[in-house]
Chain A
Amino acid sequence: MRNLLAGVIVSVAAVLALSSAAIAQTGESQSNQTSKAKSPWKYYPMDRAVGPGGPAPKRDLSGTWAGPGSGAAVPRGTNAQDPTAPPMTPLGQRLFDMHKPIGKYSPAGTNDPHTRYCDPFGFPQNMTDEIRGITITTLADRTFILIQYMNIWREIWTDGRALPTDVESGKDGLDPRYNGYSVGHWEDDYTFVVDTTGLDPNTWATKNGYPHTINAHVQERFHRDSKNDMTLTMTMDDPKLYTKQFFLGEQHFRWIPNQMFDEFNCIPSQVQEYLKEMGDPAGYDLHAAPQRR
């Protein structure tokens, strides 16, 4: 499936009329894929790993995984798609009120920097939103997560270094990053724990507009359930904005048999063209039913 402009509009702008076309396209490719010779270069969402596939290997997450947005019927998990936050502090509420997510404001009214411009999601949103496929691979001193959507990579240092303690003040001599600074360790043979801080303040923590500070601390827990299954749970501690820990959700991943997935990007020029010709002229209605991606 050609997925660039369609992907941008369906996924980011949430135009329902177009999503039905995309679904029809997907359905066609699914029905055809069983009767044609398969290319080793294509992702076939109907080719799915069967069952658990055997016990989980120890201390090993490497490989290419289908996420909940992959079209491979991976369970959606809990909270991650539309997370609910704990009670916010006054500052958190003020920041949250400034964000206009697409679900409420439509493409014309939202100020979501990804929806309007294809700005990077940044972390942690890039691990909860548009989760189609990910590849995990390692060097001796770090683990990399290669994310299908937007073709970006994160690095997680496993050499024992400590996280920076206060990127926000500048004392560390570090700038905040879209992907933050991450360290990881194995808690047991099947659970890899990643801690991240130093997040770029221009990004949203979630697609529905919850904010984060630079010094927010996000923890990811990747659990290898079996050869074919992996579960990710995420929490965020950000006491300046939230009165309690924020549960960012649980997501499931399934092993992709041929280890391939498609290229899937948000293309800024196409989004600008879409907004100019369709999204902005349509305007928005605050009383309309919320749109869902």
Chain B
Amino acid sequence: MRNRLTQVILGSLAVFAIASFAFGQEQQARPRPRRQLQPGYVAEGVPEMPNPPGPAPKHDISGAWVGPQNVSRDAMPPMTAAGEAKFKQNHPYVQGGTRDGDPKEYASNDPFIVCDPLGFPRDLLNHAVSSRGGMIFLPGLNRMFIMFEQQRVWREVWMDGRELPKDVDAKGAPDSRYYGYSVGHWDGDNTFVIDTTGFDQRAWLDENGHPKSKNAHIEERYTRADQYNLQLVATLDDPKFYTKPWVFLKANYYWMKDQDFEETLCIPSEGIEYRDTLARPSGISADTSSK
């Protein structure tokens, strides 16, 4: 499936008015057959559940997983005053308009409109919004690599016992990053725990514009329940912006049967063309200058 502009707009911005254009463009440009849904799959590439799944192998989550699915999150704790102030600066697109009201009056400044990097953890959450995507876990030299379908971006999780950086961007410390700095370890035979900090604050936490600070701490706990199911609980601890830790994502990932992802990219020139030729003329504002 041709999936660039369509995925970006449907998945992240969720503007219904755009969807028909995007689909029309896709069909016109690429009249090619999709891979057919194969028997035994609940979705493309996903084995039907239960199969039944076999037991989870020990200390092994390597391979391609589809998700997140069955997504939920806990209620967000109150934000601090600094968190509220930052949140108000972010004007996301939401279904039917912006969070703050009429899209003709409130320009969205979602950085992903022009395909600025999603960053972590929005890359995890963006898959949930679009219901498409997944990731590959891949052990490497002293590390676990994680590769995402959307944007074809990757993270590395160090497993050599090092400590996380304490205060990124301080003198002599490493620079903040869109995908942060991560360490990982096994908790028991089947749970892989990742701790991440050091975030570039330009990337939002999620499509609703919730903020995260550079020294926020995010814990991901991936528990392989059986051969085909991987359960994630992700918790944000960011006392600068939130009064309590927040479980912002609980989800399930399924083993991908054919282990082969599509290439799903946000193409900046297409996003900018959409913004300038369709969104703005139709009255939907967008202010994508960098902050």
CB < 8 Å: which of B2, B35, B140, B179 contacts A62? B140
Nearest to B140 among chain A residues (CB) is A137
Question: Which one, A66-74, A185-193, A235-243, A258-266, is touching chain B?
Answer: A258-266
Given A62-B140, A137-B138, A146-B154, is A175 in contact with B175 using a C-beta cutoff of 8 Å? no
Question: Which one, A77-85, A116-124, A283-291, is touching chain B?
Answer: A116-124
B2 to chain A, nearest CB (A): 6
B163 to chain A, nearest CB (A): 9
Q: Does B28 contact A (CB under 8 A)?
A: no
| Residues on B with beta carbons closer than 8 Å to the beta carbon of A118 | 115, 268
Q: Does B117 contact A (CB under 8 A)?
A: yes
**Contact flags B251-291 to A (C-beta < 8 A → 1, else 0):** 00000000100010101110110000000000000001110
Q: Does B165 contact A (CB under 8 A)?
A: yes
Q: Is the CB of A269 within 8 A of B290?
A: yes
A265 to chain B, nearest CB (A): 6
Given A153-B152, A269-B111, A269-B289, is A39 in contact with B140 using a C-beta cutoff of 8 Å? no
Within A102-146, which residues are at the interface with B (CB < 8 Å)? 113, 116-120, 135, 137, 139, 141, 144, 146
Given A41-B165, A144-B147, A259-B142, is A151 in contact with B117 using a C-beta cutoff of 8 Å? yes
Q: For the side of the interface on A, what is the size category?
A: 35 or more
| Residues on B with beta carbons closer than 8 Å to the beta carbon of A40 | 162
Assembled-state Cα–Cα distance A135/B141 (Å): 10
B131 to chain A, nearest CB (A): 20
| Residues on B with beta carbons closer than 8 Å to the beta carbon of A273 | 289-290
| Residues on A with beta carbons closer than 8 Å to the beta carbon of B289 | 269, 272-273
Q: Is the CB of A151 within 8 A of B138?
A: no
Assembled-state Cα–Cα distance A113/B30 (Å): 21
- Main secondary structure on A side of the interface with B: loop
Given A40-B162, A146-B154, is A117 in contact with B32 using a C-beta cutoff of 8 Å? no
Q: Does B178 contact A (CB under 8 A)?
A: yes
| Residues on A with beta carbons closer than 8 Å to the beta carbon of B272 | 117, 268, 272
Q: Is the CB of B152 within 8 A of A272?
A: no
Assembled-state Cα–Cα distance A175/B264 (Å): 12
B182 to chain A, nearest CB (A): 10
Q: Does B66 contact A (CB under 8 A)?
A: no
Within A269-284, which residues are at the interface with B (CB < 8 Å)? 269-270, 272-273
Nearest to A32 among chain B residues (CB) is B172
A residues contacting B by CB (< 8 A) are 1-3, 36-37, 39-42, 62-64, 113, 116-120, 135, 137, 139, 141, 144, 146, 151-153, 170, 173, 175, 177-179, 259, 262-263, 265, 267-270, 272-273
Q: A2-B175, A153-B153, A170-B33 are in contact. List 4 more A-B contacts (CB 8 A).
A: A151-B117, A152-B154, A178-B152, A269-B288
